[in-house]
Amino acid sequence: MSGPTDRIPPALRTEALEQLLVERELVDPAVMDKFIATYERDVGPMNGAKVVARAWTDPAYHERLLADGTAAIKEMGFGGPQGEHIVVLEQAADVHHVVVCTLCSCYPWPVLGLPPSWYKDPAYRSRVVREPRAVLAEMGLDVPADRRIEVWDSSAEVRYLILPRRPAGTEDWDAERLAGLVTRDAMVGVAEVGAP
């Protein structure tokens, strides 16, 4: 059975609910913003950074991660909703991978946290498929013309994690130190891991 609220987009309903909770002083907006920022930038992305760093330092784990991303990620204790089937794609000298969800915002929460606002934006979702090189350049990543770009469309069935290239000058670094270099954006493919 449907009612009048079924026609209102979920984002608008969520915003209205948040506004009502704030007006009734049941939720402090500053606390809510801090909570969201923590999960968007810190908690989730750090899980993915640990996965990447281990793959860079442990050849056997690297192979398991590429063969079965979901199982290898679960080895590290990360899994659950939005992480039921994760495929890991490795950046290479001749190919650059980037992830999008063209239908909504399917995203591997256990390893990347909450999706950033730009990932959910209709402009990103449509343009990165049509003109990925231009979109990446606008986001600050210039992919050389001789490097092919492959765009991967996440869905409710399959989500993707990008295994970035390890930066030069980190050959003697341990996994903990390496994890500090890895960003969420590099694991989506809109950035690369910078040299130390």
Q: Is 104 a catalytic residue?
A: yes
**What pLDDT, on a 0 to 100 scale, did the predictor assign at position 32?**
75
Higher per-residue confidence, 147 vs 24: 147
H/E stretch holding 90: strand 86-90
189 phi-psi bin (left φ>0, alpha ψ -120 to 50, beta other): left
Dihedral pair phi/psi, residue 156, rounded to 5°? -65, -25
The whole-angstrom separation of Cα 49 and Cα 16 is: 34
Read off the pLDDT of residues 67-109 as tens digits, 9 standing for 90 and up.
Answer: 999 999 999 999 888 889 999 999 999 999 999 999 988 999 9
**Binding-site residues for Fe(3+):** 101, 104-106
Amino acid at 37: A
Q: What letter does residue 100 receive in the DSSP assignment?
A: E
Tokens 């209205």 correspond to 16
Over residues 30-57, the mean pLDDT reads 82
DSSP-based three-state secondary structure for 69: helix
pLDDT band of residue 1 (cuts 50, 70, 90) is very low
Return contacts of 37-40, CB within 8 angstroms, 24+ apart: 39/113, 39/114, 40/113, 40/114, 40/115, 40/116
| CA-wise closest residue to 54 among 97, 96, 111 | 111
Read off the pLDDT of residues 112-126 as tens digits, 9 standing for 90 and up.
Answer: 988 898 999 999 999
Q: Is 117 a catalytic residue?
A: no
pLDDT of residue 3 exceeding 60: no
What is the chain's percent helix, strand, coil content, to nearest 5? 50, 10, 40
Distance of CA 124 to the CA centre of its chain: 14
Out of 2, 104, 117, 126, the active site residue is: 104
Out of 2, 101, 126, 154, the active site residue is: 101
The CATH fold assigned to 9-188 is: Nitrile Hydratase; Chain A (3.90.330)
Domain spans in the chain, listed from the N-terminal domain onward: 9-188
The whole-angstrom separation of Cα 163 and Cα 62 is: 9
The whole-angstrom separation of Cα 143 and Cα 191 is: 10
**Binding-site residues:** 101, 104-106
Q: Is 126 a catalytic residue?
A: no
